[in-house]
Each structure stands twice: as C-alpha cells, then as structure tokens.
Structure 1
C-alpha cells in the first residue's frame, strides 16, 4: 500500500454534492434548466475558481457556479442572491456518483476509512440520511470516525481538524491519505497536518502548478493510486 493504511475523506464534492433541486431552482430564474451532470460540473468549476482566489469566498463560488451553468450576465446577480438565500450547510443532500462504491472498495482493499469535513454539526446525519455511511456497523458503509468542524472547533485548512481523526483512530499522519476536492482547504490542510494529500479533480480544473500535488479523477480509482 506504499505505507498508507488509512484514508480520510472529505464530504462535499467527494460523497455529497449540493442538492440538485436547490441549485436548479435558483438557476431556473434565468430560464435555464441545467442537467444533473451540468450541476455536477459546475460544482467543481466553482470550487476551482474559489481555490484560485486563495480563500473560501462563497460569492466567488456562487458566481462561478452560475457561469458554468450558462447563466447570462444580466441574471447573475439575481441567481446568486437566490443561492445566498437557499444554499446552506444543509444543502449537501445529493449523493455524489461513485460515493458508496468508492468507500466500499477502500474497505474491501483493507484500508481503514474515516471522514473529516467542514460542516455545521450535521454531517454524520446527512451521510446517514443519504445512505452513504455511518460510524461502525449499520446499514451503510462502516467508517471509523466522522469529524465535523462545527463539533470539534477547527476548520480546514487548520491542521488540527485532522488530528482529531488520527487520535481517535490511533494512526499516524505518515500512514494516512486525505482525499478532498479543494486545493486550499483540503490539499493545503492535509499537507500541513503531515498527511498525503490527494486532490479529487474530475475535470482537471485545479489552478495550481502541475506537479504541486497528486490528483484523482475517479473515486473508485483511489485504491489503485495508493498502491502505485
């Protein structure tokens, strides 16, 4: 396994995506009816735009999301205002393609799995409601820990948030990989914590220089990457 025994996963963009109904309702104000794939594409484009600004500016995310869906400039402000009204930490309800299969393959390959997410205190409930995973035995994929930033009091890229998972699981940073969809919060944070950072970037949007960090375009290929 190349020294990696444990995989920690982000939630947004890896396991869950923004609710298609919420995002489609806001974008519909401009007369556009985006497909589910266009909405998925827009999330990663908007995340990359936010990374390029070296911050977590939600307005950048919203404007880039709208632009990716083809919202005309004259409707951008109105659509972004609707995003502001409806987009919250509870909006992440759509199961990302390959989420369940990705976790199940990691477990089948013998990796230990945990979750580390910036959230609002409800990430464990959202994952269970979506039928993705829970801590320990249950009807869905069993993970060992779910760390929610609102509960532990530290948010990525603060490296302390990863420490909660490492301590609870009893593993070292050097044997742990972290998969997230942002360069700034996920890659930078995991790197600061001493983990092996892997950027989930399915459309090749990452604004960083080539070779700065590892990339992955399909979750179900993570085990192969960790072995290579």
Structure 2
C-alpha cells in the first residue's frame, strides 16, 4: 500500500470560492414575491448541487428548479421563475465571494501547501477570480496560486480525470500528494478520485447521500487545514 503526504491542494471554484450573484438569483426568485436572504440563496445552491448529484448528471434544469424550490417558490410561480433563471443564470453569474474563501486560501498558503484551481467554467474563471480579489496565478494583489484550469479553455470537464492532469502536469506534482476540494460528489469527488487525488467534498449542510466513510467532508473552508492535518501521514493510493 502506497502512502503519500499531501503537499498540494487543488480547489473547485463554484460553491467553494464563488457563489451565484445574489442580485441575479434574487431578481429571478423575486418574481414569486419572495425576498430571499443571502443565506437562503447560499443554502439553495448546495441543495441544487445535491439534486444534481442524485440525478447523476450535470443537468442545469435540475439545478435551476431545485434552487427555486429551495427558496420557497410555489408551484404557481415555478415555471416563470425557472424561465427567468434560464435567461439570467449562466457561467458568468458566479460573482459572490463564498464565506471564508479568501481566509481559507491564506490559511492553506501559510501552512505551506501548493495551490491550484480546477473548475468547470465558461472560459473566464481566471478573470472572475481576479475581479473578486480571491487569487491569481503568481504574484499579484490577491493570493498567489500556481495554475488555474478552466474546462472551457482546456476542452475537458469534470468528472473526466484528464482535467486534473492539466494542473498536475503544470505543477509537476504527483496525484498521490494532492487533495481536491469541490462541492459535487459526482463531478468533484468521483473525478478527483479517478485521477488518483484525495477527494474532499465541500458539503456545508450535510446533503451528501453517499455512504458514510466513502470520502472526507468539509463544512467550512476555513477548517480545511484541520482536515488535511488528519492526513499528514498520507492517504492510501492503492
């Protein structure tokens, strides 16, 4: 059995570092007369991701409908709100900085981990992270990471393990020394595990339906270093 110490962390963006813009999502939800709080909108995102995981495929219709239902949209307004979400929610909507995003990255860097980003995105994730003042590749005004992999640019999407290999190759790091944090059990956990990484499921509300012990879970990004410390002696890659 091969045991490797974690030296490198790769991060998802959606749900981990950025969330859908509250203004965009509220504009759609508000058509039903609901004035959702930022916390309700955040909760709805993770409920919608859990629904995608249960569905087994990244069907945006499932995401949008679950998001609306989780915000309390009634059947009377469901179709109208859904159409507004189709119109307004897209890959460029991820503009709200997730709780503890900057703090969590700074903690990882201070602990000596090498960092990279791997995201299913729309070709602009590097610019979006810079605009949100979360990180950039190399030195700059925000936290430095070594690589930002955008699925639209490399032509491969999670859970295809090849998307992780772009980051691993650029960073010249072994997958057995690398952890990946993402908010989807099917896209992130399954994809990272297939690539030989340690998968960690960012699951703030305990929505994951996978069997207990199948993979690590994290409910707050600023607790990630504590979780990784439990793997300080390595994890099995056998």
Instruction: Select the residue among 71, 74, 95 that pairs with 2:73.
Output: 71
* CA distance in 1 between partners of 2:30 and 2:91 (Å): 21
The aligned counterpart of 1:51 is 53
- Return 5+ residue gaps in structure 2 as ranges: 231-238
The aligned counterpart of 2:234 is none
TM-score (norm 2): 0.94
Q: Per-residue CA shift, 1:164-217, capped at 9, x if unaligned?
A: 000000100000000000001000100100000000000000121222111000
2:162 matched to 1:174? no
Within a 5 Å distance, the mapping from 1:138-217 to structure 2 comes to: 138-217=140-219
The aligned counterpart of 1:108 is 110
The total of aligned residue pairs comes to 227
Q: Give the match's secondary structure for 2:91.
A: coil
* CA distance in 1 between partners of 2:211 and 2:47 (Å): 17
The aligned counterpart of 2:235 is none
RMSD: 0.7
* CA distance in 2 between partners of 1:52 and 1:213 (Å): 16
TM-score (norm 1): 0.98
- Return 5+ residue gaps in structure 1 as ranges: none
The aligned counterpart of 2:22 is 20
The aligned counterpart of 2:85 is 83
Which consecutive aligned stretches of 4+ in structure 1 deviate over 4 angstroms post-superposition?
none
